[in-house]
């Protein structure tokens, strides 16, 4: 889970032919202006095809939340974000008006220590988890806290963003456990042992839940039951992890800043390799990868650049795609 003090972005047009687009369907439909969690959707594809945003861009508003800021979640005309407060002793949850930036409700103190808390939106609710594992649900419109549940033991921590889809929340802990909880009341549906779920925000797609641990180990679970589907490779054991990206039947399993294997989502078999530091993004027949301080556009299933953009030489954020434009950020603060 990445904490940032500001959001830094660059835009470039997509390049994909009509024939290729018909072969690679777009991400699952999202409402316009909607981004439910980390990298936009439950598969972490980084693609929002229905937003009316157009370039060139101008700043509409900015708000100083007084500390390191999480990724934003956007739904129902509101922007949700958490911000750490002095001393790293916890974070606060804010709901801001999307048009003006004014505070609609909050800040709500999430407690738990640490600088930031992961958050996600689904079906009119916002869910946030703090570092000690307090998972809390709020009415997205009013800010009313609906329930709170501790999902870790006394010495556990949570440093991965939660994922939500179709009434179920998925979140992993430092105690090497992946939890599935009912969104309506926080009751546990199932939990499953893992090899390092603490830093891996689960990706959910086509009835399966995917996680990536260290040394290129990945695992898939059945979303309704938590039963294991596959593990690749089965002998690796580590407490670290990264967030997987699932697109068109492939799992992009980043093991480190250099990238990792591409896996068949059904079997876990390795079908390729990719290079990327942050999470890649996908749209149509193309994938967008950041490595070597540049943005690389490559056909899905290929490793040869269709084009690349170096910008100012310090590109380093996960790209996102909004209505046919790729946005990526640099450490120098350029859009």
Q: What are the residue boundaries of the structural domains of the chain, listed by start?
A: 28-282
The pLDDT of 91-102, averaged and rounded, is 95
Token digits for 96? Answer: 């801001």
Q: Is the peptide bond prior to 257 cis by the omega test (within 30 degrees of 0)?
A: no
State what percent of residues in the chain have pLDDT above 70: 84
Return the ∠ at Cα 226 (arms to 177 and 280), rounded to 5°. 75
**Per-residue pLDDT reduced to its tens digit, 137-188:** 999 999 999 999 988 765 567 778 999 999 999 998 767 889 999 999 999 9
| Torsion, CA 265, CA 270, CA 273, CA 277, rounded to 10 | 60
Strand partners, 263: 251, 270
Q: Once rounded to an integer, what is the mean pLDDT over residues 30-38?
A: 84
* 92 band by pLDDT with thresholds 50, 70 and 90: very high
Predicted local confidence at residue 236, as pLDDT: 56
Mean pLDDT is lowest, of 111-115, 151-155, 181-185, 310-314, for 151-155
With contact defined as beta carbons under 8 Å apart, do 171 and 152 qualify?
no
* Spatial contact of 262 and 271, defined as CB atoms under 8 Å apart: yes
Q: Are 13 and 56 in contact (CB under 8 A)?
A: no
Which single residue is written with the structure tokens 């670290």?
240
At 26 the pLDDT is: 43
Average pLDDT for the chain = 85
Q: What is the average pLDDT across 309-318? A: 95
pLDDT higher for 90 or 249?
Answer: 249
Cα-based distances in Å from 11 to 60, 104, 125, 322: 17, 30, 31, 10
Residue 329's Cα: distance from chain center in Å? Answer: 16
Query: Is 28-282 CATH 3.40.50.1110?
Result: no
- Count the helices and strands in the chain (H runs, E runs): 1, 29
> How far apart, in whole angstroms, are the C-alpha atoms of residue 154 and residue 168?
24
Residue 3 confidence class, pLDDT cut points 50, 70, 90: very low
Q: How far apart are the first and last CA of the chain?
A: 22
């Amino acid at each position: 889970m990445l904490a940032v003090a500001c959001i830094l972005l660059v835009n470039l047009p997509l390049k994909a032919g009509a024939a290729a687009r018909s072969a690679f369907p777009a991400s699952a439909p999202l409402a316009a202006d909607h981004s439910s969690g980390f990298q936009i959707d439950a598969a972490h594809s980084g693609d929002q095809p229905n937003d009316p945003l157009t370039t060139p861009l101008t700043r509409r508003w900015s708000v100083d939340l007084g500390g390191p800021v999480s990724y934003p979640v956007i739904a129902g005309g509101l922007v949700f974000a958490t911000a750490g407060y002095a001393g790293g002793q916890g974070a606060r949850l804010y709901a801001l008006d999307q048009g003006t930036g004014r505070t609609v409700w909050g800040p709500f103190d999430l407690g738990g220590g640490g600088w930031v808390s992961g958050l996600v939106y689904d079906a009119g609710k916002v869910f946030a988890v703090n570092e000690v594992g307090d998972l809390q649900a709020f009415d997205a419109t009013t800010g009313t806290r609906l329930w709170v549940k501790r999902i870790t033991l006394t010495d556990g921590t949570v440093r991965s963003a939660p994922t939500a889809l179709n009434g179920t929340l998925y979140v992993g802990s430092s105690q090497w456990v992946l939890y599935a909880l009912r969104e309506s009341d926080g009751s546990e549906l199932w939990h499953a042992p893992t090899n390092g779920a603490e830093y891996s925000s689960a990706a959910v797609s086509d009835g399966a839940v995917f996680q990536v641990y260290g040394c290129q180990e990945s695992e898939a679970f059945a979303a309704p039951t938590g039963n294991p589907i596959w593990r690749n490779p089965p002998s690796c054991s580590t407490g670290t992890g990264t967030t997987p990206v699932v697109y068109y039947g492939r799992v992009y399993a980043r093991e480190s800043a250099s990238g990792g294997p591409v896996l068949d989502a059904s079997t876990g078999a390795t079908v390729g390799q990719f290079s990327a530091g942050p999470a890649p993004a996908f749209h149509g027949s193309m994938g967008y990868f950041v490595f070597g301080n540049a943005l690389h556009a490559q056909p899905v299933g290929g490793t040869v650049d269709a084009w690349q953009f170096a910008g100012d030489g310090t590109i380093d954020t996960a790209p996102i795609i909004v209505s046919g434009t790729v946005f990526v950020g640099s450490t120098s603060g350029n859009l």
